[in-house]
Chain A
Amino acid sequence: MYRYDQYDQQIVDERVAQFRDQTRRFLAGELSEDEFRPLRLMNGLYLQRHAPMLRVAIPYGLLSAAQLRMLAHIAGKYDKGYGHFSTRQNIQFNWPKLETVPDILADLASVEMHAIQTSGNCIRNITSDHFAGVAADELEDPRPYCEIIRQWSTFHPEFSFLPRKFKIAVSGADNDRAAVQVHDIGIYLVKGEKDEIGFKILVGGGLGRTPFIGVCIREFLEKQHLLSYLEAILRVYNRLGRRDNMYKARIKILVNAVGAERFAEMVEKEWRRIKDSALLLDQKEIERVKGYFIEPDYAGDAGADASFAGRLEAQKDFAAWVKRNVKEHKAVGYRSVYVSLKHPASPPGDATDEQMSFIADLAERYSHSEIRVTHDQNLVLPHVKQADLYPLWAALKEKRLATPNIGLLTDMICCPGLDFCNLANAGSIDISKQINERFTELDYLHDIGDFQIKMSGCMNACGHHHVGHIGILGVDKKGEEFYQLTLGGSAGSHARLGDRLGPAIPKPDVAETIDKILQVYLDEREGDEQFLETYLRVGMVPFKARVYAPEPGAGREVEVLAGH
């Protein structure tokens, strides 16, 4: 993975000093709350419902064992002993005191980490495929480009006060695991006409109140032009993006208002002017950064192991875990392993300090000291020998980290909701509990197969509900929590926004409603069709009919309600 040199280290150290002084000036009354707010946000620090929240950057979801151990240390020392992994591959601490944040940042800097630009109206953490570099379906490893973009965007002087936050994702695989199409800029590594590899550039994707799928403005961009092209897009946006209304300030609104074609023209015009300037990316620099992402030394004989097959035969629960939580790897005899942070008894994406240290140890023992954070809030040990899968499973199980539910219904994406977030209408964590309590039959969940529930506590859509197979959005109706459901969303290569099911559902009925939707799917599916395929084939009608069918004897009440 990428290692800091003297320059990278100096910049995070200088940031710590700067923020320490900003905090001091704020506490001394030299900086007003209004002046301090954007500064602390650009360091990932929110003042939340119960306490501050600090969001720490995990660039493109990549962690070393030492870094994860430091996150565990921070959770234990400054927080209540846990952290929450977010949908942007970051980690959030919910209880640190403002006064201690400079010390936390100093601890982070000691392991080459920071909280730079994890919030605020600037370019945020660059996200990517959690299987980058190990996926069998990958054209090229996207991480070197993520790192190059990370550096370019860090303290970019012109783009630190954009109209709104700005998110960039990069993927190099056929199968999009990074939700690239719902980012402000989405980048795919693609092959050009002469088989050379370059970038396809999408803009204007995003969720929130007005969700859009990104549109392609350039089918192929040569690698050396990456930064000049990004700079051109950001400049057009910085000048023309709306600043009068924060709900209309994202780039997607601008792209939609002027039209994708016109937007592309403006970008291309600016780009032609600057493309051969100092922004031109040296091949030497690309090679230098690539040098950090070379493969670990895989054991050549890992595939010769016979114990794995025997264990699969012998032990059903091990086999069930392998089926869901273990994925193919490009090296023979190796696998990538999901560490599920979706145990029924804990909020999705949360890990305790003890669990984090434990996973760091396992990464050292079994995965070349490397860990990945996924955008659906799990962790991955990316390089595990098949012979080690069994002892790894046994160890994970001990700490409740081996729930065999990756990709299944209970592998939900969920924002922190009412429990932690100022903006929430609804307690998304309560709903995840309700769902976990109802769907306990593992065989049933396996029968349903790949299924994504994504949940947000309000319209800001941090839980990506628009692109869940079932999306759940918390809404407030006269002080009561209701839940708006959508069906048929997808964040993958064929990204799609879900369709509204109908009137919002009262809180106690959410899990039951999901059950009804699943029943319709099981009745309607043909062969081994997945939920999404069935939905796209049969449409909304049968689902609507089942969910809103009047209860026997309750017909009058429904009529009365409809009359309001």
Chain B
Amino acid sequence: MEDSWQRIAAVEPQQTLPDGDVIIPFACWIDNQEQLSQHNGKIAVCLNGDDNLEDLSNTLHLFELIALEFPDFRDGRSYSHAQLLRDQFNFSGELRAVGDVLRDQLFFMQRCGIDSFQVREDKDPEDALKGLSDFTVKYQTAADGAPPVYKYR
């Protein structure tokens, strides 16, 4: 799917951002908030597992998109970040998974409240989306709002 966002994985000091909508690392945004207010286009932040989610909580309203990084699909911290952004901080904008995003994890990501997926470049995104329907039964509640299945019993 086409969209307007351009992800800048790392921003060097003095580097000027390209015009348009950009996703930049959260740490970079924290350090350069003032300067970034001049940016020509929308800004989104990308959170990784080391970032402190609580630092973001006061400024959430500024963002319509937050990217959550999976540097390696085995690093599961962003699942908790997604869950907390939805459940604790009531973030209702887009949550996008970026990085090592693969078919067999999409089901879990979606359940934690992630609603867009930038699938790893060498993989077929159409194929990856099949992962979303691996399971139809959900034993436990999560940020997707599904009640635990026992409620239906």
Contact = CB atoms under 8 A, between A and B. Distances in A.
Q: Do A and B bind each other?
A: yes
A288 B150 contact: yes
B77 A152 contact: no
B75 to A, nearest CB: 6
Given A158-B111, A243-B49, 8 more contacts: A35-B102, A38-B74, A153-B140, A155-B135, A158-B80, A160-B108, A238-B77, A239-B80
B64 interface: no
Given A7-B153, A14-B136, A238-B80, A39 B88 contact: no
B74 A273 contact: no
Interface residues of A, number: 38
Interface of A: 5, 7, 10-11, 14-15, 18, 22, 35, 38-39, 121, 151-163, 227, 235, 238-239, 243, 273-274, 277-279, 282, 285, 288
Contacts of A155: 107-108, 135, 138-139
A7 B140 CA distance: 12
A10 B112 contact: no
B28 interface: no
B79 A157 contact: yes
Contact of B88 (A153, A163, A273, A278): A273
B41 interface: no
Contacts of B142: 156-158
B134 A14 contact: yes
B153 A158 contact: no
Contact of A238 (B79, B107, B110): B79
Interface of B: 49, 73-77, 79-81, 83-84, 87-88, 102, 104-105, 107-112, 134-142, 147-153
A160 B137 CA distance: 16
B109 to A, nearest CB: 8
Nearest to A237: B80
A39 B104 contact: yes
Contacts of B108: 155, 157-158, 160-161
- Among B81, B102, B141, residue most surrounded by chain A Cβ atoms (within 10 Å): B141
Contacts of B81: 239
Nearest to A286: B150
Contacts of A22: 104
12 contacts: A5-B153, A7-B153, A11-B135, A11-B139, A14-B134, A14-B137, A155-B138, A159-B76, A161-B73, A278-B147, A278-B148, A288-B150
Contacts of B83: 158, 235
Nearest to A234: B80
A3 B17 CA distance: 59
Contacts of A282: 150-151
B150 A285 contact: yes
Nearest to A239: B80
A243 B148 contact: no
B140 A156 contact: yes
Contact of A161 (B75, B84, B87, B111): B75
B90 to A, nearest CB: 13
B129 to A, nearest CB: 14
Ranked 7 nearest A-B pairs via Cβ: A161-B76, A157-B111, A157-B108, A278-B141, A151-B139, A158-B79, A285-B150
A461 B137 CA distance: 36
Contacts of B107: 155, 157
Contacts of B153: 5, 7, 285, 288
A384 B140 CA distance: 37
Contact of A7 (B74, B137, B141): B137
A10 B104 CA distance: 19
B150 to A, nearest CB: 5
Contacts of A5: 153
A272 B88 CA distance: 12
- Report which residue of A15, A156, A277, A282 has the largest number of chain B beta carbons within 10 angstroms of its beta carbon: A156
Contacts of B110: 157
Contacts of A274: 87
Nearest to B146: A278
B136 A10 contact: yes
